Structure 1
């Protein structure tokens, strides 16, 4: 397993109190999904949970710093994820609480995304024989 990744079975066990998850390797880390929606990620062996303006205060109160990545150009870029509280590693109730908070943030973010427009065109036109 590559450095900085967490065994998917360990993540499934960790989030078991919250519900079934799927772990996908992506961008040098891992995405943690429920019902096709990403609500957590792993980067350098650290679990981060989805956050937004509504959830940030709870993460700040627990001293959970935001996820910041460095681009190839060397620029720092913040994403709406916060470090998972340490209590989640020992306490099922904490996992349910914090994963639920992240799930709610992910649902709000998904609701704000524009609905994809259907493509124009449809079936290709048949060519005419001349």
Structure 2
């Protein structure tokens, strides 16, 4: 998935910008990373409740291997239905952006402490 495809998915939501990172893309709105692309899949920032809702829609968590360990982070794949539905993509993008803003504000308030989104 390239930056143009990502922008098309979120066109109804708002303009997004992509930056290359770790072999994938970070997806930003208003200067905040709220999604990422890895291995051709789009993932949204999520907490436990939102991740559960995404899982119920067929989404999967973003998992990767590092140093012989399996790492799961707070991003879940965009449900297939939202990839073709601009309104659903906008709704999910808005929720992910809200969670990403909350996490960023918490990091700024206490930069020495790593913040885990509420419910994780």
Aligned pairs for 1:4-43 (under 5 A) are 6-43=1-38
Superposition RMSD in Å: 1.5
Specify the structure having the higher radius of gyration (Cα).
1
Superposed displacement of residue 116, structure 1? 6.6
Report the TM-score when normalising by structure 2.
0.84
Aligned pairs for 1:43-54 (under 5 A) are 43-54=38-49
Counterpart for residue 103 of structure 1: 97
Q: Which ranges of structure 2 fall in alignment gaps of 5 or more residues?
A: 112-120
CA distance in 2, matches of 1:27, 1:18: 25
The alignment covers a number of residue pairs equal to 111
Counterpart for residue 82 of structure 2: 88
Higher percent of residues as helix: 2
Counterpart for residue 55 of structure 1: 50
Report the TM-score when normalising by structure 1.
0.78
CA distance in 2, matches of 1:58, 1:101: 11
SS in 2 for 1:55: helix
